[in-house]
Structures are given as structure tokens and as C-alpha cells.
Amino acid sequence: MSEFHWSTILIISLIVIGSGITGALIQRAISTFKKRTQTIGRRVDIFPSFDDTLGTLCHSTDIKISDGTTEYRYKELHIVQIQLTNQGNYSYDDFKFGISLSEDNLAVYIEAQVPNRHHQVEQLTPVSFSEPKSQIDLLLRPLNKKGTYTLRLLILVPEGSKETGEIQFSSPLDIEFVHLPTATEVLEEAVRSTNISFGPFSVSFPK
């Protein structure tokens, strides 16, 4: 009876110890998973310049913009749309990040499009027509898992330049910005993968 009693205690003790070790390993695995580098998808769509869009409809190549009190004239102005999507498994109450334009590119206006009134975009770097910037810090509050924010920028480029330079993204957080296909790239891929039947012929666009 005594042997049965002690063997039972030994088995129970081993089960308890094993369960504790298993629980610790599971907790460690969960913690490691949460601490891994998070990924933020970023899409940058650059729309045609006003000059390219309007073409010969405008006699003047100058673009005049008014903020209600002052008029500003520009030669080369582009609309750039930036979309950020949290692809990680972690939600951020405050997500701070920065946008760096090419040295000779300047943002003169930023507009944020948020899902609802409970989402906010705070410009940590003031940007205006009278105070353009090439380096801009912003705060997204919050950035939940699978959450998306959209920003639109008016970017001034040097006269004679038809394209904006490369846009860099950075953050003090342990995250990695990954490329998301632009609207143009998605459309091009759709066209390349399209087959059109025309009578006895099949027309496709080679990749």
C-alpha cells in the first residue's frame, strides 16, 4: 500500500513538472512570436503631373493654388498617394514613422484619409505651402492589425523634372516596411495574364 502511495505521488509530481515545463515552452514560443520583427506594407502611387494631365487644355504651365489668403504658383507639382497596412500580428496604440523624399523634392501639403473618427493622423512635422519639407514625421493612432491608413501628398519637384524621386520610409519601432504592388503594377499584371478570344484566335500579352 505504501509503495503504491509513493509511486502515485511520484507520477503526479512528474506530470506536474512536465506540465510546467510544457507551459513555459509554450509561453516562450508565444513571446518570441510576438517579439519578431513586424511588417508594415507600403504602397506608393504617383499620379501624372498636372501638366501631363491637362496637356494642351492649359495655355500656361503654371499651377496656381490658393489657401484662402495667399496664392502660390508652381511649375511641377505631383500628387502622391501612400497606403500603409499593418501586416503583422501586433496592434500599435501609437505608430510613429517618417517619410523622406529625395533631397530636391518638397511636400507642400498632406491630407490623411482615416477609416473613422476613432483613428487619427498627427503631423509631427508641420508642412504647408509656405513651409515645405522633404522629411516628415507622422503618428498614426492607433494602427491595429490589418489596419490601413491612406495619405495624399502634393510634392513639388524641380522645374524640368517629370517624375518624383524615391520615397523612403523609416520608424523607431522594430518593424520592416515591405513593398505592396501599386495600382499600375496590379493593372499591368492583370493585362499580362489576360487571354482574349477573337474568332479562332487567342490573343495574349506576353510577360
Per-residue cell: 153? 501628398
Q: Is 0.75 surpassed by the pTM of this model?
A: no
Number of domains, the chain: 1
Radius of gyration of the chain (CA): 27
Is there a domain that residue 75 lies in?
yes
Is there a domain that residue 120 lies in?
yes
Is there a domain that residue 93 lies in?
yes
Which DSSP state fits 180? -
Residue by residue, DSSP assigns 83-131 as EEEE-SS--BSSEEEEEE--TT-EEEEEEEE-SSTT-EEEESS---SSS
CA distance from start to end of the chain: 80
What CATH number does the domain containing 119 carry? Answer: 2.60.40
Tell me the C-alpha to C-alpha distance, in Å, between residue 4 and each of 9, 10, 11, 12, 16.
9, 10, 11, 12, 18
Residue pLDDT, tens place only, 108-162: 999 999 989 999 999 999 999 889 999 999 999 999 999 999 999 999 988 777 7
The strand pair at 135-141 and 120-123 is best described as antiparallel
Is there a domain that residue 200 lies in?
no
Structural domain for 128, as ranges:
40-178
Residue pLDDT, tens place only, 181-191: 876 655 555 44
Q: How far apart are CA 156 and CA 109, in angstroms?
A: 10
Is there a domain that residue 66 lies in?
yes
Is there a domain that residue 167 lies in?
yes
Is there a domain that residue 207 lies in?
no
